[in-house]
Amino acid sequence: GESVGLHLPTLSVQEGDNSIINCAYSNSASDYFIWYKQESGKGPQFIIDIRSNMDKRQGQRVTVLLNKTVKHLSLQIAATQPGDSAVYFCAENIGTGRRALTFGSGTRLQVQP
Amino acid sequence: ETGVTQSPTHLIKTRGQQVTLRCSSQSGHNTVSWYQQALGQGPQFIFQYYREEENGRGNFPPRFSGLQFPNYSSELNVNALELDDSALYLCASRSTSGTAYEQYFGPGTRLTVT
């Protein structure tokens, strides 16, 4: 499949370690945020979302933290596995009702066995 | 798998030609969005369709147009292709019922313009 994110920032971690991927978003009016995972040759896959009235949300092995003061979003992956290797995008939505997402530039996560 | 399908998988066109890309939404989803993803970048919003009408558009020229059909399938049409139109084109569907705002993406169509 095609290669996604040839020149993206890369985070390299050891299998079993925790990973933290950071994202700065652009619009203080954004009310909804999503993290997507994109593997080579595939479309973005929904991981977890968070609304602007929350500062933390947990899923299975993943946690999203939202700091609206500094417009910062992070994705924490616990016990990172080789299958977590992919490009990760944060996306924001401005509360216009149309639910169009604005994506960040992405981070490549490489998990070393 | 998300249940969103796209066709074709890959396509090669010549500058100036026209292209139609197709998307079949996940069952029960009544809203579809199209995104363009250039190599090494995040997806960029093109437009969104709800109840067969465009109800939101990103910063793309009018030669990018679309259709949504009663069965919620969708098309993206691009006229007068330019070299910079080479990209992965993604469609994403979602439901507006309840609070299910997640958008589910298809695998994309890789368009190459030569």
Side chain identity, residue B101: Y
Residue A7 binned pLDDT confidence (cut-offs 50, 70, 90) = low
pLDDT at A4 exceeding the cut of 50 = no
Residues B32-70: pLDDT tens digits?
999 999 988 999 999 999 889 998 899 999 999 999 998
H/E segment holding residue A77: strand A72-77
The reported pLDDT for the residue numbered A96 is: 56
Count of all residues that appear for chain A in the document = 113
Q: Out of A3, A32, A36, whose CB is closest to B101? A: A32
Among B12, B36, B88, most A C-beta atoms within 10 A, so best to mutate, is B88
The larger pLDDT score, comparing residue B101 to residue A79, is at: A79
Q: How confident is the model at residue A14 (pLDDT cuts 50, 70, 90)?
A: very high
A-chain residues near B2 (CB < 8 A) = 43, 45
pLDDT digits (tens, 9 = 90+) for A17-50: 999 999 998 888 888 899 999 998 889 998 999 9
Residue ranges of E strands in B38-73 = 44-50, 53-57, 64-68
- Residues of B with Cβ-Cβ distance to A98 under 8 angstroms: 48, 55-56
Q: Residue B27 has what pLDDT?
A: 79
The per-residue pLDDT for A95 is: 57
User: Of B39, B50, B96, which to mutate for an interface test with A (greatest number of A Cβ within 10 Å)?
Assistant: B39
pLDDT score, position B98: 44
